[in-house]
């Protein structure tokens, strides 16, 4: 696909993004939206970013920062544009979105609900922040000290892999 392709193909890709955003019950990150788009249609990452910028410039979608992440949502103007252009999107793509959407959406939500990152304070001093988000609200957050980059990375990786086990243990210890 070239960005210089006919306007119909470009419009179809933008309508797909609007269609997906309209189906979502809550805002989504760039990575989450890209994953949803790619589950339905093969699209170049850079074209995807350009389509997002075009939709933002047209005020069809909005982005804002939440919990240190940029998230996207469809605007009222975008919903109106979708109503007018919905027929551009082929029925087979709509069907793909409607049927495979729930699986991809739950995977994206699960990946975005458990996060961890580390921030260097000095050469041997890192702060690791581990979070659990539910419905775009932080329900658990803990920050810990790490004495090296390797230790910080190990904590981040362990949290991402084992939060489902670690969180109840911490909660249980706190409520004893």
pLDDT in tens, 13-67: 999 999 999 988 778 888 888 888 888 888 889 999 999 999 999 999 999 887 6
DSSP-derived secondary structure letter, 2: -
CB-neighbour burial class of residue 172 (10 A; exposed 0-12, middle 13-18, buried 19+): exposed
User: pTM here?
Assistant: 0.60
- Residue 60 tokens read as 């069809």
| Mean of pLDDT values over 135-146 | 86
Confidence of residue 132 (pLDDT cuts 50, 70, 90): confident
Which residues make up the CATH 1.10.10.10 domain(s) of the chain? 7-112
pLDDT tens column, 74-121? 999 999 999 998 888 888 888 888 777 666 666 666 656 888 899 999
Q: For the CA atoms of the chain, what is the radius of gyration?
A: 20
Q: Which fold has domain 7-112?
A: Arc Repressor Mutant, subunit A (1.10.10)
């Amino acid at each position: 696909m070239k960005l210089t392709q006919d306007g119909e193909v470009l419009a179809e890709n933008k309508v797909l993004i609007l269609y997906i955003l309209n189906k979502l019950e809550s805002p989504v990150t760039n990575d989450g939206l890209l994953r949803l788009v790619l589950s339905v249609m093969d699209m170049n990452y850079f074209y995807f970013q350009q389509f997002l910028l075009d939709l933002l410039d047209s005020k069809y979608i909005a982005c804002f920062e939440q919990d240190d992440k940029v998230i996207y949502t469809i605007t009222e103007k975008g919903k109106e544009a979708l109503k007018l252009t919905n027929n551009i999107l082929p029925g087979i793509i709509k069907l793909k979105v409607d049927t495979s959407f729930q699986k991809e959406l739950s995977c994206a939500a699960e990946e975005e609900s458990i996060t961890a990152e580390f921030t260097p304070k000095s050469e041997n001093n890192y702060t690791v922040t581990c979070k659990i988000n539910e419905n775009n609200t932080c329900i658990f957050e803990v920050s810990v000290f790490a004495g090296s980059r390797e230790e910080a990375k190990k904590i981040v990786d362990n949290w991402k892999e084992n939060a489902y086990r670690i969180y109840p243990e911490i909660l249980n210890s706190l409520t004893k």
